[in-house]
């Protein structure tokens, strides 16, 4: 019992020291080379490929393969199918990962157009007569939230099935 009391008191006395390490030093300087204020992504001028890595690849993975275990659909050779059904074009702009990204409207349009290439993520799913997105189009629909993403997506998948499109998004059971 005495040893438990001593351990408890030791922990209680050590806790403020441990907490002090978690509190940043207000006088701490930037590491050498990091003195400049970071440029916001919307102003950085990164390529679409870099923006994909920064905004999308964390969930959809670098090649767009997604992760069923994490409830993230595959985009590779599938995402273009959304452009083949009513509401799918707008959905791609309005899904939270796109609509709430740090990209400005023009960058988001460029990123989606980069995704929608036959030699890119959309691959074989790209519609024959693809019309590129514009910054104006993105701006017009981006800020209308999709309130229930799973239901909205399920409706679009249902439309795809009705058109005979194979659902190979890694999510369908």
CATH number of the domain to which 153 belongs = 1.10.760.10
Decide if 118 is inside a domain: yes
DSSP symbols for 15-33: HHHHHHHHSPPTTPPPPTT
159 located within any domain: yes
Alpha-carbon separation of residue 115 from 13, 55, 110 (angstroms): 55, 13, 9
Please report which confidence band the pLDDT of residue 155 belongs to, taking 50, 70 and 90 as the band edges: very high
Q: Which of 160, 134, 127, 55 is nearest to 97 (CA)?
A: 55
Is residue 93 a part of any domain in this protein? yes
Q: Please check whether residue 19 lies inside any domain of the structure.
A: no
Domain-embedded: residue 25:
no
8 located within any domain: no
Mean pLDDT of 30-57: 84
Classify residue 87: in a domain, yes or no. yes
Domain that holds residue 99: 48-173
Within a domain: 33: no
Is residue 98 within 8 Å of 108, Cβ to Cβ? yes
**Structurally, how many domains does the chain consist of?**
1
121 pLDDT band (50/70/90 cuts)? very high
Mapping DSSP to helix (H, G, I), strand (E, B) and coil, where does residue 113 land?
A: helix
| Bigger pLDDT: 116 vs 41 | 116
pTM value surpassing 0.95: no
């Amino acid at each position: 019992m005495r040893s438990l009391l001593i351990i408890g008191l030791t922990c209680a006395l050590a806790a403020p020291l441990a907490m002090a390490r978690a509190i940043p030093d207000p006088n701490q300087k930037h590491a050498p080379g990091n003195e400049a204020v970071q440029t916001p992504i919307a102003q950085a001028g990164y390529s679409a490929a870099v923006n994909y890595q920064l905004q999308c690849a964390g969930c959809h993975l670098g090649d767009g393969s997604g992760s069923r275990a994490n409830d993230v659909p595959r985009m590779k050779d599938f995402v273009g199918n959304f452009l083949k059904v009513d509401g799918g074009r707008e959905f791609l702009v309005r899904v939270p990962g796109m609509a709430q990204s740090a990209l400005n409207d023009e960058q988001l349009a460029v990123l989606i157009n980069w995704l929608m290439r036959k030699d890119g993520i959309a691959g074989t799913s790209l519609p024959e007569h693809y019309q590129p997105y514009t910054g104006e189009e993105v701006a017009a629909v981006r800020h209308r939230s999709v309130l229930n993403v799973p239901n909205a997506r399920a409706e679009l998948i249902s439309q795809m099935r009705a058109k005979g499109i194979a659902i190979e998004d890694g999510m369908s059971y």
